[in-house]
Homo-oligomer: A and B are copies of this chain.
Amino acid sequence: MLSQSAPAVTEKRPAPLRTTSVPEAVYEALRESIVSIAEPPGAVFTETAIASRYGVARPTAKAALERLVAEGLLARRAHHSAQVPELSRHDIDDLYGNRAILEEEAMRHLALEGVVPVAALARHRELLENVRSDDRAALARADIDFHRALVLGQSSPRLAKMHGLLMGEIELCIGQVQSHQLIRPTDVAEQHQGILDAIAAGDAALAGRLTREHIFTARDRLLSKFDADHTVDRPEAP
């Protein structure tokens, strides 16, 4: 019941065949170093520095930077170097609020179609296998990949596009607020299982509600950590 889509379907799309152009590769590398906070908030990226770091021409570096700026992973004013933005409390709230809206809708779609994307199942299994691992960052990534796979599996390309836009900043957010130190992987896995079951059962309302609650739980965890981190440094806060 979990996969009404026949195996033939996965056969018909043999491979997305991700061909990688040079700007694409630079973009990926930069993106990775940003969301992993190898480059901390405030780090500056000049076009020439990126160009020489990766051995490409400046226009190529420029293209990669502009793409990151468009996604919100970098901020820059005219004639200034790009910088990794520091997300505020309001940003976290905004990010997760919109994420909840989008994913709730995506899960409702999936439930109405009654199809659980095979890619999401694979990601779920990955997370289950690593649930006893101590690599919290890897678990956070598995969590994100699971959600991405689910949204990618529903039928609205625009919904997936908008979700992808948000998830970039969400990853940055998770990196900056290292809240996955506190999270219990078993809880996450359980909630994921609940969502999958609701989708498979075709219960759109339940799938939507569970998704919303799951995301709000994550949001609240991040906000708590954020507040804790920011009241220590500022004893004069009310």
Contact = CB atoms under 8 A, between A and B. Distances in A.
Interface in A85-111: 94-95, 97-98, 101-102, 105
B19 A157 contact: no
Nearest to A157: B94
Q: How many chain copies does the complex carry?
A: 2
A67 to B, nearest CB: 8
A1 to B, nearest CB: 26
Given A19-B78, A70-B70, A78-B19, A98 B159 contact: yes
A59 B102 CA distance: 35
Interface residues of A, number: 23
A156 interface: yes
B156 A97 contact: yes
A119 interface: no
Interface stretch (A28-36, A122-130, A161-169, A223-231): A161-169
B101 A105 contact: yes
Q: Is the interface of A mostly helix, strand, loop or mixed?
A: helix
Given A19-B78, A101-B105, A165 B156 contact: no
A55 B169 CA distance: 37
A80 interface: no
Interface of A: 19, 21, 59, 63, 66, 70, 78, 94-95, 97-98, 101-102, 105, 156-159, 161-162, 165-166, 169
Given A21-B78, A101-B102, A162-B165, 5 more contacts: A94-B156, A94-B158, A98-B158, A98-B162, A161-B165
22 contacts: A19-B78, A21-B78, A59-B59, A63-B66, A94-B156, A94-B158, A95-B158, A97-B156, A98-B156, A98-B158, A98-B159, A98-B162, A101-B101, A101-B102, A101-B105, A158-B165, A158-B166, A158-B169, A162-B162, A162-B165, A162-B166, A165-B165
